[in-house]
A and B are shown apart, each in its own frame.
Chain A
Amino acid sequence: MPSLDLCISELSKVQVMENVVIIGSGLAGYTLAKELRKLAPALPIRLLTLDDGASYSKPMLSNALAKGKTAQTLPMASAEQMEAQLNITITTHTAVTAIDTQAHTVATAMEEIPYGKLVLCVGAVPIHPPLTGDAADRVLSVNNLTDYAVLRHALETAQRVAIIGPGLIGCEFANDLLSVGKQVTVIGPGVVPLDRLLPTEAGAALQSALARQGVAWHLGVTALRVDHQDEAYRITLSDGATLLADCVLSAVGLRPNLQLAKLTGLQTARGIVVSRHLQTSAADVYALGDCAEVEGLVLPFVMPIMHAARALAPTLAGTLTAVNYPAMPVVLKTPACPVVVSPPAMDAAGEWLIEYLNGDSLRALYRDADGGLLGFALTGAAAAERQTWSKELPPVLA
């Protein structure tokens, strides 16, 4: 019969083996911690984060001006409050320097932490456009609350704001800046904004609505240089034109943060490759959110995070659960012209059918040869039809 001591040491080993370590305190990390805590009241959960661990909603960064929020008032809870609320341990301002998938440990500068299961919620990083010029390093991008505080500081004195990148975030920022009376210019290579997400006609509707509210568009061009000129910046475009701005914001897109995954030797493609159970190529290591690639899909939106977190939580708590994605239309926070889009899958075969309603209102439906709905884009008043058309869409991942 084993001694009592041995029993206790065996027990504590089991305890350690079952703990969950989460890297990242963005929406993915905190949503997972919340869902997991609901299912496993006693499970030890440790969360490591690079920043101060404040819980805030990243999508709200691009409409905070209109909502009267600042970098200081956006957080919903501090790391201390999250620790108490979720009964988890949070270590802030800490980078993970290595993961040993054999030994089941993660290393920081201070300690080596054993894990039973590890989840990478390390998000995405901004893509930087290839700019030259003596002020190229003064171009801002906003990917977190710290970046946002820098932008808000710049906006205290900046009246003319140039945005490079007419995508979802660029358009939302443009609209938000208009709401506080800034003079906004948007620069991008497509013929219309959001050309990777929207059919041309819908992009044009958004473009004209924002133009009427004051946005100056420079489309079909790219920004090449940013130089100092007096107290401002001079941006040189690919067609030779130049324009002046007091603040230059880059919003050309995000790519999954693969740094730690590559260092660890996890399989990566566009994102960290995970199974339908969100497991990476290493046992007991998972990835969730903007960093993850599920069956070829990198979906940097909130809705997929919510679905994935609600599948991963039961898996980590002991009930293997695959993630399913329903149709997940994306809503743009552009009050000048509401837009809802559910883009057809990359390999979808069909065509857009465009109906102009009135004003900026447009209904674009993407149907296959049999009339099946595979995607839609709704602008202006038609955005209210979102629910009607969503019901007809096939799931993204059944």
Chain B
Amino acid sequence: MQSDQSGADYKKYMCLICGFIYDEAMGRPEEGIPPGTRWEDVPIYWVCPDCGAIKDDFEMVEI
């Protein structure tokens, strides 16, 4: 698992509606969210790119 400079592991969050995975290590550069962006720093208005679900509909997953 990749980690940031402080050694904290990057986590993944899954959309419970469609299964899309947000990976903190990858971010969403195509939407202006740089790699390494922590889930809590993803803007509150961001929605799932696959299905439009809101951040509340995501859950941390161990993969």
Residues of A at the B interface (CB closer than 8 Å) are 27, 34, 57, 59-60, 63, 67, 76, 301-303, 305-307, 328, 331, 333, 386-388
Contacts and interface: CB of A to CB of B under 8 A. Distances in A.
B30 A333 contact: no
B17 interface: yes
B51 A63 contact: no
26 contacts: A27-B17, A34-B56, A57-B16, A59-B18, A59-B19, A59-B51, A60-B17, A60-B18, A67-B19, A76-B16, A301-B51, A302-B18, A302-B52, A303-B50, A303-B51, A305-B52, A306-B51, A306-B52, A306-B53, A307-B52, A328-B52, A331-B20, A331-B50, A333-B18, A333-B19, A387-B49
A302 B49 contact: no
A328 B49 CA distance: 9
Contacts of B31: 387
Main secondary structure of the interface of B (DSSP, over half): loop
Interface of B: 16-20, 30-31, 47, 49-53, 56
Contacts of A76: 16
Given A60-B19, A302-B18, A302-B51, 6 more contacts: A57-B17, A60-B16, A60-B18, A305-B52, A307-B52, A386-B49
A305 B31 CA distance: 22
Nearest to A59: B18
Nearest to A34: B56
B52 A303 contact: yes
Nearest to A35: B54
Nearest to A74: B16
A388 B30 CA distance: 8
A34 B57 CA distance: 11
Contacts of B53: 302, 306
Contacts of B19: 59-60, 63, 67, 333
A101 B10 CA distance: 54
Contacts of B18: 57, 59-60, 302, 331, 333
Contacts of B52: 302-303, 305-307, 328
B29 to A, nearest CB: 9
Nearest to A390: B49
B50 A306 contact: no
Contacts of A67: 19
Contacts of B56: 34
A301 B30 CA distance: 23
B15 to A, nearest CB: 9
Contacts of B50: 303, 331
A59 B30 contact: no
A310 to B, nearest CB: 9
